[in-house]
Amino acid sequence: MVSRTRDAPDNDALRKALFHWSFNVTKRGHHPIDEADVPAAFAQEVAWIAKRSMPLRSFASPSTVRRAMNAISLKLDGTAPAAPTVARRRAALFSALQYAVELELLPNNPLKQLKLRRPIVAAAVDPRVVVNHSQARRLLSAVRSNYPSLEAYFACLYYAALRPAEARHLRVKDCVLPESGWGELDLLGSTPDAGGDWTDSGQANEDRQLKHRGEGDTRPCRLRRSSSRSSVATSRTSPRAPTAAYSSPGSVVPAFRCRGPSPNR
């Protein structure tokens, strides 16, 4: 939130400075923003936003918070985003204001005082946009022809409904894949792809606990027998896909990057 946009720098340059330095504690060397050395490439944009940013105390006014809500309810092109996007942004704003209350920088969370119509998020799945079984088999066949080492990844997403980060974390030793009947995957963790700029290690991937679960929690997951079993076998034995490098010994899924293999975890 800024007090005025007169003499503002280019929008793209400003967003780049915010995301690649101001909001990125790793890029700042974990220093407080007022103690870190601003890179010359971002100096003009950071100086402008520091001068024009509204003080935190102004958010004690419901009118300021409503301005913020109106801003996060639009995309960059001025159109309305999807309801889940608005809900996520509202939750982030609420958490930021609540943190200010904890630090005694605001007397209370002003977002609680606003009468806002919550976006309606559809709970039902539209069958017209969900891949059916025939389409899934054809898609997996295409993956097998081009990048066999990635077949197990997509098979786990479809047949076991794994999250992408769960499939990346999966190891062969955690799979029970019988010749007949249903198999089971023992999910021990998650490997989300956050990007190297946003991780403490500088690696694109970081091993974490399962989503919405505590450290050390596991989750068993049943999966369809024959198709998933053959997909895992194909992925582990195929000599093709030179751009694939297995993320760690025993991985079901390689650490795949379009521009080449990522470093081993």
- Establish if 200 belongs to a structural domain: yes
Query: At residue 89, does pLDDT exceed 80?
Result: yes
Distance between CA atoms of residues 104 and 100, nearest Å: 6
69 domain residue, yes or no? no
List, for residues 43-86, the tens digit of each pLDDT value: 999 999 999 899 999 998 888 999 999 999 999 888 988 888 98
37 is a domain residue: no
Residue 53 lies in a domain: no
Residue 226 predicted with pLDDT over 70: no
Domain count across the chain: 1
pLDDT at residue 68, rounded to an integer: 92
Q: What confidence tier does 112 reach under pLDDT thresholds 50, 70, 90?
A: confident
Mean pLDDT, rounded, for 124-148: 88
Is 23 among the domain residues?
no
- Domain with 210 in it: 147-256
Average pLDDT over residues 162-170: 91
Considering only residues 148 and 255, tell me which one the structure prediction assigns the higher pLDDT. 148
Q: What is the pLDDT, as a whole number, of residue 165?
A: 92
**Considering the domain boundaries, does residue 198 fall inside one?**
yes
Give the range among 26-30, 206-210, 253-257 with minimum mean pLDDT. 253-257
In a domain, 68, yes or no: no
Mean pLDDT (whole number) for 231-245: 45
Mean pLDDT over residues 101-121, rounded?
84
Q: Does 153 fall in a domain? A: yes
Beta-carbon count within 10 A of 16 CB: 14
